[in-house]
């Protein structure tokens, strides 16, 4: 399948809609990011609009990488076209992008001109641009945009006839914008197909869709499948009013539908954050792909599916693997009253503490009850419940002290149901000796498994650095997991034994 051609308009359409348009150094910085993204064409500005814009176009044309098309905008007037030629014709592949409306409404009420006048002006401008720039640079190209093409359903035959003349006059690319999103995708695509069929394969069809009703991505993606070769997109969907077609959404949607996309998708997330900061346009929470919430799951059913498919290419409830667009954070699991055991399990595990699914089941109703009052709970709030219910569980046993006496002998002091007890024990290390002392005091327990973890970070501020997990055999042969944390590893072991005992003797 043919590859789509990405024409980035962040520095022109995106920039012109900013409350504070970018300075030259900022434009250069973004241009370098576009290089990292590997777009195929960049519209660098509208050189006739100001001296600053002219200089920016000139500088960016100097910076162009190999095979990049550098395009600049001009109305269908000679002085605008001259400014484009002057500012960018030294680029390897410069492109004059000129535009005029052919929409009945716009010609009548905004330009106050007859259709024939507009057609003639457009054809003449393309011819002028073509003669002028191709004399200087034989690689140069001409693009013509039918402003408000989406409003041209009534006079489409006239538009097509005019575009045939424009193509003959030298246009290499015909851009068909849904300038204000008034036309729904399916109707717009039918119009694009008619133009494509009439003009044949010698001219590239381009799309430039605005997002007034939130359908620009759909129109652009479907337009590609209908035969458009060039897709005009803007990073973070910047642009006039509700913005232009979002670059990331189109690139990823095509990728997800089996199209080989010639851009570095893994740069998308980082560049989006940069553009958001530089344009002072926050990425909204629910923004597809790049929003802070775009990969968050809160309901129990969704969390369960997300966790089960976490490492797979296609997730149960996500459109992409986050790494596809360079997002480091995995699917975020947030706990609310709608969440379930999988979320509790995942959040505690992700925080670096061992927990079993059975324990998560036990903790879930407690956490849910808190969440019903407080809304979404942070990791620390869930860990607090884990600490209270699992690590510091209260029961019949209370450790008083455990001391090394001599050789392999230790002395254990503890309370059982408030009654003070003392016992000596010996063994191969403190863990063994403690179990021996308990046996001597009348509480024999067998060890089935033992593990000690180093806690890389003391999340609860308790000063603990080691966690012991001790599995003892219960009264009916079941496993009881005891856990404890302490700075001292031997003490963590003894505390873990008492933790397990307290689960048996409540």
- Shorter beta-carbon distance to Zn ion: residue 13 or 181: 13
Query: Quick one: which segment of 5-13, 40-48, 220-228, 471-479 binds Zn ion (CB under 5 A)?
Result: 5-13
**Stretch of residues binding Zn ion (CB under 5 A), selected from 6-14, 273-281, 391-399, 464-472:** 6-14
Q: Are 189 and 178 in contact (CB under 8 A)?
A: no
CB of 373 to Zn ion, least distance (A): 48
| Interface with Zn ion: number of residues (CB under 5 A) | 1
51: CB partners within 8 A, 6+ apart: none
Burial 8-39 (b: 16+ CB within 10 A, else e): bbbbbbbbbbeeebbeeebbbebbebbbebeb
Dist CA 130 CA 332 (whole Å): 53
Q: Which of 310, 308, 304 is nearest to 338 (CA)?
A: 304
- Residue 49 or 309: the one with the smaller Cβ distance to Zn ion is 49
Closest separation in Å from C-beta 244 to Zn ion? 6
13 counts as binding Zn ion under rule CB under 5 A: yes
Pairwise CA distance, residues 17 & 466, whole Å:
55
Q: Kindly tell me which of 8 and 13 has the beta carbon lying closer to Zn ion.
A: 13
Contact 310, 328 (CB under 8 A): no
User: Nearer Cβ to Zn ion, position 175 or 364?
Assistant: 175
Residue 13 CB, shortest distance to Zn ion, in Å, is 4
Nearest to 299 by CA among 246, 235, 343: 343
**How many separate helices (H) and strands (E) can be counted in the chain?**
17, 16
Beta carbon of residue 232, minimum distance to Zn ion (angstroms, whole number) = 8
Q: In terms of CB distance, is 188 or 402 closer to Zn ion?
A: 188
Would you count residue 43 as binding Zn ion (CB under 5 A)? no
- List the beta strands (DSSP E) in 256-313: 296-297
CA distance 496 to 483: 4
- Judged by CB under 5 A, which stretch of 11-19, 44-52, 60-68, 350-358 contacts Zn ion? 11-19
Residue 332 tokens read as 């975020």
Name the minimum Å distance from CB 52 to Zn ion. 20
Q: Tell which positions 90-109 bind Zn ion, by CB under 5 A.
A: none
**Cα separations in angstroms, 59 against 63, 90, 395:** 6, 10, 75
Best CA proximity match to 367, nearest among 300, 308, 467: 300
* Interface region with Zn ion, contact rule CB under 5 A, candidates 8-16, 282-290, 297-305, 463-471: 8-16
Per-residue burial over 254-280, b = 16 or more CB atoms within 10 Å of its CB, e = otherwise:
bbeeebebebbbebbbbbbeebbebbe
Handedness of CA 460, 461, 467, 472 (dihedral sign): negative
In the bound state with Zn ion, the residue whose beta carbon lies nearer, of 216 and 470, is: 216
Closer to Zn ion by Cβ: residue 97 or 341: 97
- Read off the tokens for 36: 């990292």
Q: Does 181 bind Zn ion (CB under 5 A)?
A: no
- Closer residue to Zn ion (CB): 169 or 216: 216
Ranked by CB distance to Zn ion, the top (closest) residue is 13
Nearer residue to Zn ion within complex by CB, 143 or 493:
143
Q: How far is the CB of 17 from Zn ion (least distance, A)?
A: 9
User: Cβ 233 to Zn ion, closest distance in Å?
Assistant: 11
Residues interacting with Zn ion, by CB under 5 A? Answer: 13
């Amino acid at each position: 399948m043919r590859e789509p051609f990405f024409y980035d308009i962040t520095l022109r359409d995106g920039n012109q809609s900013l409350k504070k348009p970018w300075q030259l150094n900022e434009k250069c910085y973004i241009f370098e990011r576009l290089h990292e993204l590997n777009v195929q064409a960049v519209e660098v500005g509208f050189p006739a609009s100001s001296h600053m814009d002219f200089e920016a176009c000139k500088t960016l044309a100097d910076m162009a990488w190999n095979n990049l098309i550098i395009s600049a905008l001009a109305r269908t007037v000679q002085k605008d076209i001259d400014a484009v030629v002057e500012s960018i014709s030294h680029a390897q592949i410069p492109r004059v992008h000129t535009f005029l409306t052919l929409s009945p409404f716009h010609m009548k009420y905004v330009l106050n001109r007859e259709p024939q006048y507009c057609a003639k002006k457009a054809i003449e401008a393309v011819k002028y641009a073509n003669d002028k720039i191709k004399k200087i640079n034989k690689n140069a190209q001409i693009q013509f945009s039918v402003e408000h093409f989406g409003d041209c359903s009534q006079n489409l035959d006239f538009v097509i006839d005019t575009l045939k003349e424009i193509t003959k006059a030298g246009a290499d690319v015909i851009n068909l914008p849904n300038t204000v999103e008034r036309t729904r995708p399916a109707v717009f695509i039918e119009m694009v197909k008619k133009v494509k069929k009439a003009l044949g394969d010698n001219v590239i069809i381009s799309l430039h869709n605005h997002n007034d009703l939130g359908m620009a991505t759909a129109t652009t993606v479907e337009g590609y499948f209908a035969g458009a070769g060039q897709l005009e997109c803007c990073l973070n969907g910047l642009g006039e009013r509700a913005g232009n077609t979002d670059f990331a959404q189109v690139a990823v949607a095509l990728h997800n539908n089996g199209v080989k996309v010639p851009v570095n998708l893994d740069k998308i997330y980082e560049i989006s954050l940069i553009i958001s900061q530089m344009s002072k346009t926050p990425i909204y929470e629910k923004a597809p792909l790049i929003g802070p919430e775009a990969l968050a799951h809160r309901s129990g059913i969704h969390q369960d599916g997300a966790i089960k498919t976490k490492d797979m290419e296609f997730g149960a409830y996500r459109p992409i693997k986050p790494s596809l667009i360079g997002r480091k954070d995995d699917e975020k699991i947030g706990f609310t009253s709608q969440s379930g055991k999988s979320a509790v399990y995942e959040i505690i595990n992700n925080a670096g503490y061992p927990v079993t699914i059975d324990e998560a089941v036990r903790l879930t109703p407690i956490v849910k009850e808190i969440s019903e009052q407080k809304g979404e709970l942070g990791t620390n709030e869930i860990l607090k419940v884990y600490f209270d219910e699992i690590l510091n569980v209260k029961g019949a046993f209370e450790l008083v002290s455990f001391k090394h006496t001599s050789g392999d002998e230790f002395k254990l002091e503890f309370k059982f149901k408030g009654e003070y007890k003392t016992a000596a024990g010996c063994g191969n290390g403190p863990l063994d000796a403690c179990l021996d002392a308990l046996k001597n005091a009348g509480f024999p327990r067998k060890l089935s498994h033992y593990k000690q973890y180093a806690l890389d970070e003391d999340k609860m501020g308790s000063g603990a650095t080691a966690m012991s997990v001790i599995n003892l055999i219960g009264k009916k042969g079941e496993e009881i997991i005891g856990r404890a944390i302490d700075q001292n590893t031997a003490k963590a072991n003894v505390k873990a034994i008492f933790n397990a005992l307290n689960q048996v003797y409540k």
